[in-house]
Each structure stands twice: as structure tokens, then as C-alpha cells.
Amino acid sequence: MTELPPQRRGVPIYIQIIIWVFLAALLVIVALGLKRAQQGTVQPGQKIDNFSLTLFSGYEYEGKTSVNISELRGKVVVINFWASWCKPCEQEAADLKQAWEFYEPSGKVVFIGADYVDTEPEARVYLKKFGITFPNGPDLATKISQYFRIKGVPETYFVDKNGVLQYVQIGPFTSLEQIQGIIDPLIAE
Amino acid sequence: MRSTSYRFPLAVLIAFALVLIINFMVSSQGSAPTDDEVNKIAKQLYCPVCESTPLDVCPTEACRQWREVIRTMLAEGKSEAEIKQHFVTQYGVRVLNVPPNPWATYFVPGVVILLGALFLARGFQLWMKPGRTAAAPVKAEAELVPQDDYVAKMEEELKKRK
């Protein structure tokens, strides 16, 4: 009797399934990572999730030491990311200050300054230097900037009364009129 | 007459007290942290803005400010751990050159990858391993004899030479 040539034995079906699921999961993880890396900033039309910003002493919002974005529904919210070491931020500081002074009495617009990876003493010097008085605080552990996926500073996000992001300004504003041109239609909605 | 006799010891006492106070103030203030002490901690932190640049060698204005924060905190008597925790709170865990829990960061993914690799290797091994099928029919020896004339001749020649 002669032995037959060896035959291949099949892998149990459950192992095959696990292997393919494992490989598919790896591919999905890589794909999601690539997609997120290419996404850029949060896009207009997206509803902004709630977040809380701890505010510097002297820059509170209605006497509160932190501000929740969800509490500002019904108002146009302008979120400005800045840093004291950021030279382009200085270009727009005066325009932002004027814009805040223009809209603050109406109570329809809230400006929030998120100080990005900065030191408090230098941030305070900056705020004082440009006479900025709207609520400002450090973006602790860069959680807010990570949520918005900012690419640098300055960047400004305009959220409408319903909490939906409507406009993103990358880089500094060039004039007060430019800021007004974005905010006025959002108030009128 | 009597009052003047008190003046000298009183002046000495006041001077002594002043010396003590000044000495206490100087000693409590401590010496300013040196650059080496600052850089020892800065070396363990990364600039949160620049890509992969340790804080001790980062030339930007922002990094200079952060080094000053370390210096100030050292002068206040804060420990290395407290300073690093302050930076993590302010700028996130990415500023640390070594993650806070290296075991979880390196070991767990390492083990998962190793297990996955072993699992895959075992799967492929099973796949490639030769086996026998018990129910396979046994072929007759005659069937295995080569049918080709040329091969048959060659085998015959070989047998003769043996």
C-alpha cells in the first residue's frame, strides 16, 4: 500500500472568521486615523457639542468663573483661539476688542477667548495691552482646541443661536467690518 | 541718665533682631534655581506648539516663557512631579517625554500585538500543515506506475545499471 501525497487541512471556520475580523478591524482603525488626520478643522453646519472653559480671574462671564457653551444657546457665540506668543493674534486684537464693545450692549453676542498653550502671566499682559475685556480663559490640556481641530492661532469660530457652527476664520481678521460682516447676518437669522 | 543707659543695649537688640529677620528672609527665599536645574525638568517636557522639540532646547519665545514658569515654580519650592503635573494640566499629557503610565502605554499594546501575531501565526500554521484524510481511497500500486514510455525506459535503464 502506498501512502497518498499529503493533503492540506482547512483551518477551522471560527479561526478564519476571527482572523478576518482582526484584519478588518486593523484596516478600519488605520482608515479612521487617516481620515481624521485629513479632516482639518470642524466644518460649518456642524452642531457644536457642549464644552466648558475656565475663565481667568477678572475675565469672567456674568460673574461666573467658567462658561458652558450650552448655556449660550440663543446668542451668537464667537470663539477666538489666541496666544500671547502669537504675533498674528496681535493684528486682530484691536478689531476684536472693538467688535466686542460694539456688540456687548445688545446682549445678543458673546465673545469667548480661548488662550491656547500659554502662560497666565503673559496672557494677562497681552489682554491688558490690547484692552480686551471679553471672557477669556486657558484652553486647559488643549481639550477645546482639539475638539475644534485647530491648526494654529489665531482661529475664530462663529456659532449661531442654535449652537451650529456657521463660519470659521483661519488667521487674523483684517478689519472690524469683516467681523461685523460675519456676525450681523447671524444676529438677523 | 537712666534712660541713656538703656539706649545702647536696646540698639544692640534692635540691630540683632534686624540681622535675624534679614537672615531669615534671605534663607527662606533660597537661591534662584540655576539653568541646569530648570533644564533638567525642561528636558523631560516637549514644547506643546513645536513638533517634537524638547523644552530645554526649544528656541521660541513661548518655550522661553515655559522655562521661566519652571524656574518660578522651582523657586517657590515645587517638586519636579508637581511642575510636570502643572504642565500636563495646562497643556495636556502630550508635553511629557515619557507617558505617565508607561506600563499601560507600551506593555498593553505590546501584549495585544504579540497575542495577535501568535494567533495569526497559529492560524496560518494550521492552514499550511499537511494532513491525511482517513477516508481517502487507497490507490493500487499499479496505478502509480508511470505511464509515460520514455520515463518507463529511463527507469528500466537505471535498474539495469544498479
Which CATH number goes with the domain that contains A116? 3.40.30.10
| Residues A18 and A104 placed together within one structural domain of the fold | no
More confident: B24 or A185 = A185
- Chain B residues lying within 8 Å of A140, measured CB to CB: 89-90
Identify whether residues B4 and B47 lie together within a single domain: no
Q: Is residue A3 part of a domain?
A: no
d(CA A140, CA B40): 24
What is the structure's pLDDT at B134? 47
Say yes or no: A162 and A82 in one domain.
Answer: yes
Of A2, A19, A84, which is closest to B139 when you measure between CB atoms?
Answer: A2
Distance from CA of B156 to the nearest CA of A (A): 21
Q: From CA B54, how far away is CA B38, in angstroms rounded?
A: 13
Query: What is the torsional sign of CA A27, A28, A31, A37?
Result: negative
* Nearest C-alpha neighbor of A116 from the set A87, A85, A159: A85
Domain extent for A28: 10-39
What's the pTM? Answer: 0.70
When divided into structural domains, chain B yields a total of 3
The string of pLDDT tens digits covering residues A67-85 is 999 999 999 999 999 999 9
B62 and B88 fall within a common domain: yes
Q: What is the structure's pLDDT at B13? A: 77
Question: For B69, which residue in chain A has the nearest alpha carbon?
Answer: A119
pLDDT of residue A139: 97
Specify the pLDDT at position A84.
95
B135, part of any domain? no
The answer to whether position A46 is within a domain reads no
When divided into structural domains, chain A yields a total of 2
Name the pairing type of β-strands A7-8 and A52-54: unpaired
CB-based contact, B96 to chain A, within 8 Å: no
Does the residue A18 lie in any domain?
yes
Predicted confidence at residue A38, as pLDDT, reads 77
| Residue A177 to chain B, least CA–CA distance (Å) | 31
Q: Is residue B159 part of a domain?
A: no
Same domain, A16 and A79: no
The answer to whether residue B116 neighbours chain A at the CB level (below 8 Å) is yes
Q: Do B68 and A10 touch (CB under 8 A)?
A: no
User: For residue A123, what is its C-alpha cell?
Assistant: 496672557
Contacts of A131 (CB under 8 A, 6+ apart): A97
Average of pLDDT values for A1-22? 72
Which residues in chain B are contacts of A2 at CB distance < 8 A? 138-139, 141, 144
Predicted complex: ipTM over 0.85: no
Which cell numbers in the block locate residue A6?
499529503
Claim to verify: residue B115 and residue B85 sit in the same structural domain: no
Three cell numbers at B21? 529677620
User: Distance between CA A135 and CA B138 in Å, rounded?
Assistant: 88
- The one-digit pLDDT tens for each residue of chain B (162 residues) are 455 566 767 777 777 777 777 655 555 555 789 999 999 999 999 998 887 899 999 999 889 999 999 999 999 999 999 999 999 999 999 899 888 777 777 788 788 888 878 877 877 777 777 654 445 555 555 555 556 788 888 888 888 887
B89 and B40, same structural domain?
yes
Is A25 in the same domain as A107?
no
A27 in reach of chain B (CB within 8 A): no
In a domain, A44, yes or no: no
State mean pLDDT over A92-116. 97
Q: Which residues of B touch A143 (CB under 8 A)?
A: 92
Q: Write out the residue range of the structural domain in which residue B108 sits.
A: 101-126
**A52-54/A66-68 β-pairing:** antiparallel
**A28/B contact by beta carbon, under 8 A:** no
